[in-house]
Structure 1
Amino acid sequence: MTKTLTDKSGATVQVKLETGSHVSSYTLSLDGETTVGRAVFVDSPGAGNDRIFFHTEVDEEFGGRGLAGLLVREALDDSIRRNLTVVPVCPVFARHLKAHGGEFTARGGVFRRPTPADIALATRAARGGA
């Protein structure tokens, strides 16, 4: 999945889903090659369809362009398309859903508060093991 969007400066950016063995992420690039941001997540093990977002970052030099918001919104939109429940361990996702959760659920999105097990899973994933 790759989606092309426009930031506040009018520049074209791409958001791409990159899957890994322990963690995966939505990456944000300005030229299709140089990654300047990412929203990192781990999917719940087994039959669950929870996507636990635990870290989001955008390089400081690109601040003020709305890139974090684009990244979060596209990750949430993709979660809707995949019928996943979003679990916001990451403060960026938690703030966005606190402010815009009603809009997200109105478009078919589902989210829930993280449990201690979710936080433990995210911590293990961040340390390189799942």
Structure 2
Amino acid sequence: MATPAAPVVRRVEDKHRYEILVDGVLAGFTEYLDRDEQRVFYHTEIGDAFAGQGLASRLVRQALTDVRDAGKRIVPVCPYVAGFLEKHDGFADITDPVTPDVRHWLREALH
């Protein structure tokens, strides 16, 4: 019997999201838009079949590490990303507050 492969996180630039795959199957994603040097995360979703496996945490941790490696800053509009950052202060140095200006920009950008 084959051992299941470790989940894989990848950035899909043309979809503006990071995806997590389990055995090649899309298990979830976190969506973002870039605003100058900021990467604004606005939605995270894990499929029901993959819930409770810690995949959202793994996905967001790797996405935020990629943001750091790219020299960008994090804006956590997404409640899951915001909650993750409250529990893990390792990204505090590159996290910007969610301001009314950011929210307005995001609404305009998504419509």
In the superposition, the TM-score normalised over structure 2's length comes to 0.87
Instruction: Identify the match of residue 16 of structure 2 among 17, 21, 24.
Output: 24
Instruction: Identify the match of residue 114 of structure 1 among 69, 85, 98.
Output: 98
Distance 1:35 1:50 in 2: 26
SS in 2 for 1:12: coil
Distance 1:53 1:78 in 2: 13
Instruction: Identify the match of residue 34 of structure 2 among 35, 38, 43.
Output: 43
Q: Which runs of 4+ in 1 moved over 3 A?
A: 124-127
- CA positional deviation for 1:31: 2.3
Figure out how many residues of one structure are paired with residues of the other and give that number: 108
Supply the AA of the counterpart residue of 1:56. T
Q: Percent identical across equivalent pairs?
A: 32
Instruction: Identify the match of residue 69 of structure 1 among 45, 50, 57.
Output: 57
Gaps of 5+ in 1: 1-9
Gaps of 5+ in 2: none
SS in 1 for 2:7: strand
Question: What is the RMSD computed on CA atoms of the aligned residues?
Answer: 1.7
Q: Which residue of 2 aligns with 1:104?
A: 91
Higher helix share: 2
1:85 corresponds to 2:73: yes
Q: Which residue of 2 aligns with 1:94?
A: 82
